[in-house]
Chain A
Amino acid sequence: MLAPAAVWMAVFVAAPLGVVAAYSFLTRGPYGGLSEPWTLENYVRLADPLYLRIVARSFRIAAVTTALCLLLGFPLALFLARSGGRKHLLLALVILPFWTSYLVRTYAWMFLLRDTGLVNTLLVEAGLLERPLPLLYNEGAVILGLVYGHLPFMVLPIFAVLERLDRSLVEAAADLGARPLETLVRVVLPLARPGIVAGALLVFIPCLGAYLTPDLLGGGKTVMVGNLIQSQFTAARDWPFGAAVSLALMALVMLGLTVFLRRGGERFL
């Protein structure tokens, strides 16, 4: 039963990753392509502060996105958990935009934020601005796009935990004289922790490897690890270096995955 899928995975997941691993030890040919000698140079090159800065930037953007998703998503999950009968409909409304094209949703933000986009046009027409604000092609726009795209990943796990929360615990706290906010912070939040952790990892890990959002909304200026990898395999034509960066990214992502699984995260998958 498992055999066909196992074979497929071996051929199309394991083998390609193996090829990439091998390439990461080769050298780039003069105009691109591959050549001997086998070397560790690509990994050494990764330690250059220039590239470490890209990794740091990716971490920073992923972290900020995760924090924002948490801030924005937790109250929403709370609302959903308490909304009684219409829970599933409201949940569906959260997920619906998520399952339509990611490319389209990213383009929607381009449409809104560019110099001649809706936001700027409205502000200029209303006389609030003299010339358009550069809302697009910067890190802020990338973070906005990432938050927009990954919010459901944060909301769903937290909702799943809050839904199963024992209401009597909340009532007991109220009976003991706690105000609503206090109950929230001292009772609900700690109980929701598994959901929060799951949500955080479900947002952080994909954001680390983001490519499309920084490419379109960052104007190619906000270079994240994903962009670096893609450019090495296309215009820069340096496959060995790109392979090394890919493996480094995979290592980081696997680390995140192990943390996730150790904390019992597979319940959420």
Chain B
Amino acid sequence: MALAALAACRTGPPRLNVFNWSDYVAPETIPAFEAEFGVRVRYGTYESGEEMLAKVLSGNSGWDVVFPSNSLVEPMRELGLLAPLRHDWLANLDNLEEGFRRPSWDPNLDWCVPYMWGGTGIAYRREVTPPPTGWASLWEERLRGRLTMLDDPAEVLGACLKKLGWSVNSIDPVELERAGQEARAQKALLRAYVNAEVRDQLVAGDVLAAQLWATTSLQAIEESAALAFVWPEEGFPLYADNVVVLRESERGELAHRFVDYLLRPEVAAAVAKATKSATTNAKARALLPESFRSNATLYPPPEVLRRGEWFASLPATAQRLRDRIWTEIRSA
């Protein structure tokens, strides 16, 4: 009782709770928003999409805005977790690239707004010679104990499926089981399943090769010239992270203002520059320096991009099977 009263006493400016991937905004993004709109933002970060989904699945997590990747948008909508977007509150929607205005996962942008996109490849230290060329390189004995994979079932299974020559979105039980076996075989060589945290270990030299997002790899390369990135030859997954407003949020309008703020060219450009991400915002991309716009890791050339495959959301039974296989991989 007393605590509730205490909490109520502390009513200050309105508060927005934003839950995002780590290192996905520029240092000034949030403070500038707070200053301009006179609000306080509680900005939490997560390292994995699974972690985020687990928190918001209950429907009373307390978060207002989260950033699911495209394959999660449809399921979250079906689970009733998303608030429909009011386009009349999103004036800057037209700033998006052509390709992202009618994305396959939400053709009318009723539920989400694409934020940043990218792909997954291999980050490695230059002393690894010959350098890795594809997913198969990550099963090599020479990397034992100095290799990491992402802590993400879709990514790990995706890499295994590609290595075996199948689609990252496979729902075939046989293919999935085989992929699971590959992952378990690899586990003996693996140092850990870890996401962006592996950056420091790559820089320090503890890790020789890591399955890593292009964005995070670029952040690491920025810190150490001894690192490099390669798009696997067998093919690789592409993803797009999107902003959504949660249905449980009681600050819908403020959330929309935040989304609109993120769509501003200068804001999106600042984020893209600071986080080394590929932006979905056309006007923002135009503001970026040439070195960014032509960076092959961020914006791969067409012949490389052709090998990429967008993650898709999968039917329920396939998802259940994948999640079970992932538990088995982790527990092995």
Contact = CB atoms under 8 A, between A and B. Distances in A.
8 residue pairs, one from A and one from B, having the closest CB atoms: A30-B316, A235-B50, A234-B54, A31-B75, A32-B57, A115-B206, A223-B331, A237-B54
B75 A30 contact: yes
A54 B331 contact: yes
A219 B145 CA distance: 13
A228 interface: yes
A31 B326 contact: no
Contact of A30 (B191, B193, B320): B320
A62 B216 CA distance: 39
Contacts of A32: 53-54, 57
Interface in A6-64: 28, 30-33, 50-51, 54
Given A31-B319, A236-B50, A137 B191 contact: yes
Interface in A203-230: 219-221, 223, 228
Given A54-B331, A234-B50, A236-B326, 5 more contacts: A30-B75, A33-B79, A50-B328, A116-B204, A233-B54
Interface string B213-236: 000000000000000000000000
Contacts of B328: 50
Contacts of A232: 327
B323 A50 contact: no
Interface string A226-263: 00100111111110010000000000000000000000
Nearest to A232: B327
Given A50-B328, A223-B331, A235-B51, A31 B57 contact: yes
B330 interface: yes
A28 B145 contact: no
A238 B323 contact: yes
B186 interface: no
Contacts of A238: 323-324, 327
Main secondary structure of the interface of A (DSSP, over half): loop
Interface string A101-125: 0000000000000011000000000
Given A236-B323, A236-B326, A221 B79 contact: no
B332 A237 contact: no
B192 A235 contact: no
Nearest to A28: B320
A97 B70 CA distance: 48
Interface in A137-183: 137
B45 to A, nearest CB: 16
A140 B330 CA distance: 19
A5 to B, nearest CB: 19
Interface string B161-204: 00000000000000000000000000000111100000000001
Nearest to A27: B320
26 contacts: A30-B317, A30-B319, A30-B320, A31-B75, A31-B316, A31-B319, A32-B53, A32-B54, A32-B57, A51-B331, A54-B331, A137-B192, A219-B192, A220-B192, A220-B193, A221-B192, A228-B331, A233-B54, A234-B51, A234-B54, A235-B48, A235-B51, A236-B326, A236-B327, A238-B323, A238-B327
Contacts of B320: 28, 30
Nearest to A51: B331
A134 interface: yes
Nearest to A57: B331
A221 to B, nearest CB: 7
Interface string B44-59: 0000101101100100
Interface string B309-324: 0000000110110011
B331 A237 contact: no
A237 B204 CA distance: 34
Contacts of B316: 30-31
A62 B51 CA distance: 29
Contacts of A241: 327
A269 B204 CA distance: 48
Interface string B274-315: 000000000000000000000000000000000000000000
B15 to A, nearest CB: 25
Contacts of A236: 50, 323, 326-327, 330
A241 B320 CA distance: 13
A219 B232 CA distance: 27
A120 B50 CA distance: 34
Contact of B50 (A51, A115, A237): A237
Contacts of A137: 191-192
Contacts of B332: 50
A232 B324 CA distance: 10
B145 A237 contact: no
Contacts of A28: 320, 323
